[in-house]
Amino acid sequence: MNKAGAGLLWASVALIVAALAMLPISVQAHLVYSCAVIIVMSVLKAFRAQGPWRLIFIVLGVSIIMRYVYWRTTSTLPPTGELHNFIPAILLYSAEMYVIFTVGLNLFIVSLPPRPRECPVIARDDLPTVDVFVPTYNEERALLAATLAAARGMDYPADKLTIWLLDDGSTDEKTNSDDALTSIAARRRREDLSRLCEDFGVRYLTRAENKHAKAGNLNNGLAHSTSELIAVFDADHAPARNFLMETVGFFPGDKKLFLVQTPHFFINADPIEKNLDTFRKMPSENEMFNSIILRSLDKWNAAYFCGSAAVLRREAINDIGGFCHSSITEDCETSLALHARGWSSAYVGKPLIAGLQPETYTNFIGQRSRWAQGMIQIMLFNFPLFKSGLTLAQRFCYMSSGFHWMFPVTRAIFLVAPLLFLLFDMRVFVVSGGEFIAYVLSYMLISLLMQNYLYGSCRWPWVSELYEYVQMIHLLPAVFSVLANPHKPSFRVTAKNVTQSEDRIADIGKPFFILFAILAATLAVSIWRVFDSPHVAGLVLTVGGWNLLNLIIAGCALGAISDRRNLRGFHRIPITRRCEITTATGEVLAGTVEDVSISGAGVRIVNADGQPLAGGQPLAGGQPLRPGDALSITFRMCSGEAGTPLPMKIRSVKAGPEAVYVGCAFVATQAAHYAMIADLAYANADQWEQFQKERQSNIGLMQGTIWFLRMALYQTRRGLSFLLARSRPERNLAEAGS
């Protein structure tokens, strides 16, 4: 069937379904239909049915949502005469409809994600020239060294690759600052980094003033460079060896292509994951965006630049006069402008960089505030629906990305709505017990089913709710501030890799405890009301159940914001790399590097002949290995070259029956050492993918819900004991966390 025919068929069937869904049928008929849909959808989900089944699944879910919308609109609003009920009721109703609208956009985007892209192979001689930009503002030297080493280690013809460190931390503006401290630090930084760049054979570039933040920095890079393509890596995003080979190949064949974006893969946990201790087993929060949304946006030619881990075409960026900077999310704004000019984008699903994400709640919120404010700025300045040059699908895609960030408002309304009835007896949702089951419960169940079917491998049940709640409190003022004053927000670099030296509740956590107390008190009030006024017991229980759900999430959030101890400076990645260890006394032992970070590695050592160490006591020149001893390792690099010895210092020794495990810190003194570390840590992207795949398992709705409830209960306790421990400072804080 051709496109027009299929479209016509679709439109006419859609009209029929809409007409059927908007019939004012009885609650019984709706209940029967809901049950049928739940059964069919559960079966489809159980079989992981894809292809046409995926669309049938989505349409079934949408039909229930449409029925809910129809019913909610026609039957549940209080009479306009009761203004004290009607106004909050309309607010709640609008919030629900807004959410359903964004869900609709989202469903459109993820309706049928395209196949993963395969990068065309280009002869090495035909490869275009590439400038690699590593913009930095305040990142420390070691982090930059690792990133630059990883960039240097990328497989690409050397004559076609130029790496630039774009330093915004030691601009003339800073080095000439009237503040002595700033001035001295900036001068030292410039000196330091210039030398580092020299060692690595990397171009160092800074500029006069910090105008237009990151966008300005990148534009400055553009002005000083000439290559056809530009790869951008944030300072804490280390590329894999094959990054360019997996991305550059798309450009020669598609002259209108302006962007190849790759996912942001993080080797550390975000603060929530860290506090909930879910990093190793549960897919990270960002994976839903990186693995599913971006890939699905690519279907509609709407994958946008995410600030890093991407390759861009200089010609395209020049076409719009450089990176845009009217919003604080210059990346998405630039993409929107380019898409509107008819340029196209591509997304490669493989993780090709290893990044760090904020480790404290404060920084996490700072990052999210920037995204939220920036995306709302884009919506305000360049509302995608009316932006000329975009396809309809692209308009939907950008709207979805932008509208998403209003979630703090809707989430806050859903939090407060049950309190209005339970505490103040306001009727904002007119419903009977039977209708509640038939419409509301079925709608909720089907939403969960759809969420689990579409995103289950990347997002476990209730995790979205938790993350939104955790962000809501502090994003709410950010959202209102940008709405009130769209030009005010300015770019602030997200601090990453900030170590928590002791367990503490972020100061930012106080509102969470207050909210939790209010919700808990409301629960008590609702229990009292059930017995005190039995005539409204059904309603109180229904609304009280809603409040209980909020309370469970709020309780879980208490744990999620109570920071755990995090002593290791950099996160270790599990790897397996054969190596040779040379002790200080010159003895050569065989071993395997088992985990690595940019600051150190864990090595399992066996005897040189491969035999297990006798009695578990390793001998190095007759002497046992001891913390503080120096040693060096050599291993074959991914490029095939034999590496130089990498000096290390032993931090810890743990003896096992067949081997000894030593934890070491790198003692890197020259660029070659950093190249070795980067090769160990970042060169092999396959291992990241494997790690990601291991976590990406769909836990299922039932099991996921039970898991979440258990975790919520545990985290509530943990969060509350943190509070108690903090109020009695003499107590051992570590104890409270256990």
- Binders of another protein in range 512-571 (CB under 8 A): 530, 533-538, 540-542, 545, 548
Q: Which stretch binds another protein (CB under 8 A): 95-103, 219-227, 436-444, 590-598?
A: 436-444
State the CB neighbour count (10 A cutoff) for residue 367: 18
433 lies in the site for another protein, by CB under 8 A = yes
Q: Which stretch binds another protein (CB under 8 A): 7-15, 224-232, 456-464, 678-686?
A: 7-15
Residues 605-624 that bind another protein (CB under 8 A): none
Reported as type and span, the H/E element at residue 173 is helix 172-175
Query: Cβ of residue 617: shortest distance to another protein, in angstroms?
Result: 43
- Of the candidates 503, 519, 521, 502, which has an alpha carbon nearest to the alpha carbon of residue 557? 519
Residues 267-306 that bind another protein (CB under 8 A): 298-301
Task: Using the minimum distance from each CB to another protein, give the nearer residue, 170 or 262.
Answer: 262
Query: Cβ of residue 31: shortest distance to another protein, in angstroms?
Result: 6
56 lies in the site for another protein, by CB under 8 A = yes
Task: Using the minimum distance from each CB to another protein, give the nearer residue, 60 or 648.
Answer: 60
Q: Which of 389, 434, 616, 627 binds another protein (CB under 8 A)?
A: 434
- Binding residues for another protein, total number by CB under 8 A: 73
Task: Using the minimum distance from each CB to another protein, give the nearer residue, 81 or 657.
Answer: 81
Q: Which of 45, 57, 72, 415 binds another protein (CB under 8 A)?
A: 57
Q: Which stretch binds another protein (CB under 8 A): 350-358, 376-384, 433-441, 622-630?
A: 433-441
Quick check: is 331 catalytic? yes
**558-568 burial string, b = 16+ CB within 10 Å, else e?**
bbbbbbbebee
Residues 301-330 that bind another protein (CB under 8 A): 301
Task: Using the minimum distance from each CB to another protein, give the nearer residue, 61 or 221.
Answer: 61
Q: Which of 55, 385, 588, 608 binds another protein (CB under 8 A)?
A: 55
Q: Which of 94, 176, 318, 432 binds another protein (CB under 8 A)?
A: 432
Residues 367-396 that bind another protein (CB under 8 A): 393
Q: Is 101 exposed, middle or buried (0-12, 13-18, 19+ CB in 10 A)?
A: middle
Task: Using the minimum distance from each CB to another protein, give the nearer residue, 78 or 600.
Answer: 78
Q: Is 16 exposed, middle or buried (0-12, 13-18, 19+ CB in 10 A)?
A: exposed
Cα atoms in the 13 Å half-sphere on the side-chain side of 690: 8
Q: Which stretch binds another protein (CB under 8 A): 9-17, 156-164, 171-179, 602-610?
A: 9-17
Query: Cβ of residue 432: shortest distance to another protein, in angstroms?
Result: 7
Q: Which stretch binds another protein (CB under 8 A): 46-54, 140-148, 257-265, 588-596?
A: 46-54
Instruction: Spell out the residues 6+ positions from residue 58 whose beta carbon is closer than 8 angstroms to its own.
Output: 107, 111, 450, 454
Reported as type and span, the H/E element at residue 633 is strand 630-634
Task: Using the minimum distance from each CB to another protein, give the nearer residue, 135 or 555.
Answer: 555
17 lies in the site for another protein, by CB under 8 A = yes
- Of the candidates 259, 227, 233, 222, which has an alpha carbon nearest to the alpha carbon of residue 127? 227
Task: Using the minimum distance from each CB to another protein, give the nearer residue, 2 or 490.
Answer: 2
Query: Cβ of residue 247: shortest distance to another protein, in angstroms?
Result: 17
Instruction: Spell out the residues 6+ positions from residue 729 whose beta carbon is closer than 8 angstroms to its own.
Output: none
14 lies in the site for another protein, by CB under 8 A = yes
63 lies in the site for another protein, by CB under 8 A = yes
Roughly how many angstroms between the first and final C-alpha of the chain, as a whole number? 63
90 lies in the site for another protein, by CB under 8 A = no
CA dihedral of residues 201, 207, 212, 215 (deg, nearest 10)? -20
713 lies in the site for another protein, by CB under 8 A = yes
Which residue bears the tokens 């300045």?
381
36 lies in the site for another protein, by CB under 8 A = yes
Query: Cβ of residue 27: shortest distance to another protein, in angstroms?
Result: 7
Q: Which stretch binds another protein (CB under 8 A): 53-61, 90-98, 146-154, 580-588?
A: 53-61
Q: Can you tell me the distance from the alpha carbon of 688 to that of 350, in angstroms, rounded to the nearest whole number?
A: 9
State the CB neighbour count (10 A cutoff) for residue 299: 18
Quick check: is 686 catalytic? no
Task: Using the minimum distance from each CB to another protein, give the nearer residue, 120 or 624.
Answer: 120
253 lies in the site for another protein, by CB under 8 A = no
Contact 548, 523 (CB under 8 A): yes
Per-residue interface string for the shown chain with another protein, residues 206-245, x marking contact by CB under 8 A:
----------------------------------------
Q: Can you tell me the distance from the alpha carbon of 248 to that of 241, in angstroms, rounded to the nearest whole number?
A: 13
DSSP reduced 3-state for 230:
strand
Contact 601, 595 (CB under 8 A): yes
Q: Which stretch binds another protein (CB under 8 A): 17-25, 132-140, 228-236, 721-729?
A: 17-25
CA dihedral of residues 285, 289, 293, 294 (deg, nearest 10)? -150
104 lies in the site for another protein, by CB under 8 A = no
- Of the candidates 431, 331, 441, which has an alpha carbon nearest to the alpha carbon of residue 72? 431
CA dihedral of residues 41, 47, 53, 54 (deg, nearest 10)? 80
- Of the candidates 109, 67, 1, which has an alpha carbon nearest to the alpha carbon of residue 403? 109
Instruction: Spell out the residues 6+ positions from residue 533 whose beta carbon is closer than 8 angstroms to its own.
Output: 540
Query: Cβ of residue 577: shortest distance to another protein, in angstroms?
Result: 37
Q: Which of 60, 69, 130, 646 binds another protein (CB under 8 A)?
A: 60
CA-to-CA dists, residue 241 to 137, 279, 303, 313, 637, angstroms: 25, 25, 23, 21, 11
Q: Can you tell me the distance from the alpha carbon of 388 to that of 358, in angstroms, rounded to the nearest whole number?
A: 36
DSSP reduced 3-state for 205:
strand
1 lies in the site for another protein, by CB under 8 A = yes
DSSP classification of residue 77: S
Contact 431, 421 (CB under 8 A): no
Which is the catalytic residue, given 236, 298, 331, 595? 331
Which is the catalytic residue, given 168, 236, 270, 679? 168
- Catalytically active residues are 168, 331
